[in-house]
Chain A
Amino acid sequence: MKKSKIYPWYFAAGALLIYTLLYVLPGIIGIGYSFTDWSSYSQEIHFVGLDNFKQVFNANENYVKYIGNTILFTVITTVLKTGLALVFAIALSKKIKFKNFHRGIMYMPSVLSVLIIGLLFTAILNPKTGLLNEFFRFIGMGSMTQKWLTDPKIAFFSVMAVDVWRGTGYIMTILIAGILAISDTYYEAAGIDGANGWQKFVKITLPLLRPTLAVTIVLNVLYGLKVFDIVYALTNGGPGHVTEVMYTAVFKQFSQGMYAVGTSVSSVMFVFMVAIGFFMIRILMKGEVQE
């Protein structure tokens, strides 16, 4: 029996068709449009060469800063989420009371809509009535109160903190599964040889957890580079443009009718992500075949 008969291509056709038409095609058309002056203000579309890209990478425009912001967001949230998630995962993977309760609660924010989390935190971080500042006043540390989302110096960090609050539980869950997959015999053998907890962590847990850690880092990086919802809901790029990331910038151009510039920024991201994509996917697949 031929494989082509038992596993016909038309089985994959539906998935490939929808994905190609509504996901890949816009990306490719978008690259084409980024060489034009497409906007909502004119009927005709003209070829303008690299003008849009010159504008995007012009030092006088803000785009380079938005790219920087996006990378900063990605690096900081990835480090914090991975670090915190690792601590929680280790604490909650072994003997501890109510561990399932804790795990369930930690994961909870990941199932809520980012938009709703954003709305909620605009209330919590409100400088006058918000819970966080109230808390600082209550414990007598009134000097810690801040204008969390409107002070240009700290607004971006507040956004990152909310995102860490939201995303750590998800990463922790994956890491717990990775830790539980490590055979107990390693720890027993190390215990017999007189290793202490820290040595066991450094010599056993960390090396054997590496593929899982790689997967979580890839997931975090991908999320960070494409971040939009949380920034949109909390600050929408403000105050000024200090919390602007690439996707919020794209959407601003989009809603102002500056389609060509919007699609140019998108295309820069598209090409960059495809380039690093193969590498990232390979890490995900490697994590997967770890049997």
Chain B
Amino acid sequence: MNTKIRKNVFSILKNALAWIFSLIMLIPLALIVLNAFKSQSEAAAMSLKLPTEWVFSNFSTVIEKGKLLTSFLNSMRYSLSATVLTVILAAMAAYVFSRRKGKKNSALYMYMVLGIVIPINYVALMKVMQVTHLNNSGIGIILLYCAVQMPFMVFLIYGFVGKIPVELDEAAVMDGCGPIRLFFIIILPMLKPAVITAAVLCFLNTWNEFVMPLYFLNSSEKWPMTLAVYNFFGQFEKSWNLVCADILLTCLPVIIMYLICQKYIVGGQTAGAVKG
């Protein structure tokens, strides 16, 4: 009897704790949503009160004044291109690193994944960007995103390649399959879960990036959404309703992506880290 009561108390405590912390996580997000629909004077307090009048025009104002359409298309272009390029190159590299053995190979793999650890030297990077004429260009920012994401993505996919039996490659080669066909037709489809996880993470990370564009894209027409929000905040610091509307629109793509791909984010990433 006594243990039963204790168990119940424990369970209630556990549930209460979970709800309290979920609320702590949710309240700031709710704050954005609620205030995005308020008038300027009402939003000034940034409170959790419901708007007395729902102002939907905030969004059209923001889209127009914040040039959100341009920055949305920029973000899409940068993130999608960087994601596709990174994931394909990372998968190809991870595949070769995993299949080949020997000292030279493991040294190269180590060199690649060391990028997870080492910090970027932005000052010298600026110099490299200028010399290679990649500064202030869309292609430059896409390649930069690739360089930054590459080490972790290689690391992530590498773990999965090892699970695909080598016998499969051998059989394909026996049947006269060349290396390129072998990889794209046989290996890549088998890597699908890892590749999707890598792609989702890569997209989320590049969508949220703002330091790179801040320093390597000078003209505001080239800015992605995160940077546009920051700039917008600078101009309309007093209009929290507009800032919130802007934030909401910027976060919407990643939140939608997260809700759809949740199982890949959690599943794939943790499989890389803890494989059960």
Give A105 to B28 CA distance when docked, in angstroms. 12
- Does B55 count as interface, using CB distance less than 8 angstroms? no
Give the contacts of A97-130 with B (CB-CB under 8 A): 97-99, 101-109, 111-117, 119-121, 123-124, 126, 129-130
**With contacts defined as CB atoms under 8 Å apart, how many contacts are there between chain A and chain B in the complex?**
289
Do A29 and B128 contact each other (CB < 8 Å), given the known contacts A7-B99, A281-B116? yes
A15-B93, A212-B274 known; 5 other A-B pairs, CB under 8 Å? A108-B258, A111-B208, A120-B28, A177-B266, A177-B273
Q: Is A266 within 8 A of B275, CB to CB?
A: no
Q: Majority SS of interface residues in chain B?
A: helix
Q: Is A26 within 8 A of B32, CB to CB?
A: no
Cβ proximity bits A57-92 to B, threshold 8 Å, 1 near / 0 not = 000000000000000000000000000000110011
Give A288 to B99 CA distance when docked, in angstroms. 17
Q: Is B147 within 8 A of A19, CB to CB?
A: yes
Cβ of B28: which chain A residues have Cβ within 8 Å of it?
A: 109, 117, 120-121, 124, 165
A-binding residues in B (CB < 8 A):
11, 14-15, 17-19, 21-22, 24-29, 31-32, 44-48, 89-90, 92-93, 95-97, 99-101, 108, 110-129, 132, 143-144, 146-148, 150-151, 154-155, 159, 169-170, 173, 179, 182-183, 204, 207-208, 210-211, 215, 226, 229-230, 233, 240, 243, 247, 250-251, 254-255, 257-259, 262, 265-266, 269-276
Do A3 and B99 contact each other (CB < 8 Å), given the known contacts A107-B266, A121-B28? yes
Cβ of A15: which chain B residues have Cβ within 8 Å of it?
A: 89-90, 92-93, 112, 150, 154
Do A113 and B251 contact each other (CB < 8 Å), given the known contacts A15-B154, A267-B121? yes
- Does A184 count as interface, using CB distance less than 8 angstroms? no
Top 8 A-B pairs, shortest CB-CB distance: A181-B276, A177-B270, A30-B124, A30-B121, A277-B117, A22-B147, A15-B93, A113-B208
Q: Is B243 within 8 A of A119, CB to CB?
A: yes
B-binding residues in A (CB < 8 A):
1, 3, 5-9, 11-12, 14-16, 18-19, 21-27, 29-30, 33, 87-88, 91-92, 96-99, 101-109, 111-117, 119-121, 123-124, 126, 129-131, 134, 165, 169, 173-174, 176-178, 180-181, 211-212, 215-216, 222, 225-226, 228-229, 247, 250-251, 253-254, 259, 262-263, 266-267, 269-270, 273-274, 276-278, 280-281, 284, 287-291
Find the residue from A12, A27, A225, A228 having the highest chain B CB count within 10 A.
A12
